[in-house]
């Protein structure tokens, strides 16, 4: 069975999107779905939060893409993918990938192939506050492509794995709800404090701070070959953080505003989709600016008390502020 290596741009058209002017009401609330990155969460798109009109499509750089088009985000959240289940347009942070020859790719296989390239694409992202890649960078991405029948077989296996992961996420969400309920039964609501627990400002027994993002324009100096773990807010998925998707170099630690955070510190996501999410560092690491580190001044604080109580924004933040002193 022969697998061939191809560049995405040699086999697919990569089509950029656009945003109609917000100042023209006639461009908006039409019958054409208009995709933003926030619409790509589920991996397949049948409807969108916003729609545009035919005038909005013709008066902007947005393009109408057919069902089956693979969408890839190229700005800020680099490498997120979704398959269109309806005709739609996208904003400029998303490109549509359409194979030039029918039957050349299974759409699910192409989606999984580009998902596998996410970290590589993110490393290529440039910019300080908001990383991004260009369409030409995406076109240069190399893919290994087997015959169509093998693509379908591989995609079927990966679909089954995705379904198992979805069930696991659902089970964890139910467990998190149970933990929250148990915490409230035992200790009361941290906000109203019906048990009359002593309350103190977090600063009385902990020191806090945030990290930073070394310039993506200095990839070779600040990222390539780095061995210092660097935590992003999206990585606060587990109670204990023991590994990270990216590492930075000693030069990044010396020359930028990132800080080395000790093992056992509590991490709190400050903004974005993961705001309020908590995790305990199982390793010495650094963080980006969206993560607050909380370090106890003594051994009198047990962070597991606050971390396990809730993953929601309000309760999670309040619980961390009521960390138990023993």
Q: Is the pLDDT of residue 318 over 50?
A: no
User: End of a domain among 118, 143, 159?
Assistant: 159
Q: Is the pLDDT of residue 40 over 80?
A: yes
Please write down the long-range contacts of 175-182, taking CB distance under 8 Å and 24 or more positions apart: 176/310, 176/311, 179/308, 179/309, 179/310, 180/309, 180/310, 180/311, 180/312, 180/315
Structural domains of the chain, count: 2
Q: Which residues form the domain of 225?
A: 192-325
Do 129 and 259 belong to one domain?
no
Do 148 and 22 belong to one domain?
yes
CB burial string 148-158: b at 16+ within 10 A, e below = eeebeebbeeb
Do 150 and 198 belong to one domain?
no
Do 150 and 31 belong to one domain?
yes
Q: Is the pLDDT of residue 128 over 50?
A: no
Q: Is the dihedral of CA 273, 279, 282, 284 positive or negative?
A: positive
Domain membership flag for residue 304: yes
pTM of the predicted structure, to 2 decimals: 0.54
Confidence of residue 306 (pLDDT cuts 50, 70, 90): low
Average pLDDT, the chain: 84
Confidence of residue 131 (pLDDT cuts 50, 70, 90): low
Q: What is the CATH classification number for the domain harbouring 272?
A: 3.90.220.20
Q: Is the pLDDT of residue 293 over 70?
A: yes
Do 153 and 228 belong to one domain?
no
Residue-wise pLDDT tens digits, 56-91: 999 999 999 999 999 999 887 788 899 999 999 999
């Amino acid at each position: 069975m022969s697998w061939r290596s191809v560049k995405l741009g040699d086999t697919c058209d990569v089509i950029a999107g656009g945003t109609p002017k917000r100042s023209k009401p006639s461009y908006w609330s039409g019958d054409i779905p208009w995709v933003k990155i926030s619409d790509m969460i589920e991996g397949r798109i049948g409807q969108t939060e916003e729609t545009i009109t035919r005038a909005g499509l013709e008066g902007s750089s947005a393009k109408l893409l057919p069902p089956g088009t693979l969408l890839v985000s190229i700005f800020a959240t680099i490498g997120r993918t979704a398959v269109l289940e309806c005709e739609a347009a996208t904003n400029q942070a998303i490109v549509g990938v359409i194979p030039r020859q029918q039957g050349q790719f299974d759409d699910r296989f192409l989606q999984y192939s580009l998902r596998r390239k996410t970290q590589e694409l993110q490393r290529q992202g440039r910019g300080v506050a908001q990383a991004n890649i260009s369409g030409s960078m995406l076109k240069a991405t190399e893919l290994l492509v087997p015959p169509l029948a093998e693509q379908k077989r591989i995609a079927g296996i990966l679909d089954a794995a995705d379904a198992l992961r979805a069930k696991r996420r659902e089970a964890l969400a139910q467990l998190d709800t149970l933990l929250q309920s148990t915490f409230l039964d035992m200790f009361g609501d941290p906000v109203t404090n019906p048990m009359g627990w002593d309350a103190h400002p977090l600063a009385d027994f902990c020191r806090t701070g945030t990290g930073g993002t070394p310039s993506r324009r200095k990839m070779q100096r600040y990222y390539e070959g780095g061995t210092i773990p660097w935590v992003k807010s999206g990585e606060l998925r587990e109670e204990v953080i023991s590994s990270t998707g990216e590492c930075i170099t000693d030069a990044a630690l010396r020359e930028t505003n990132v800080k080395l955070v000790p093992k056992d510190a509590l991490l709190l996501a400050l903004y974005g989709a993961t705001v309020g999410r908590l995790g305990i560092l199982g390793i010495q690491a650094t963080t980006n600016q969206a993560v607050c580190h909380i370090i106890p001044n003594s051994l009198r604080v047990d962070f597991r008390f606050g971390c396990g109580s809730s993953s929601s924004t309000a309760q999670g933040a309040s619980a961390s502020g009521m960390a138990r002193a023993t």
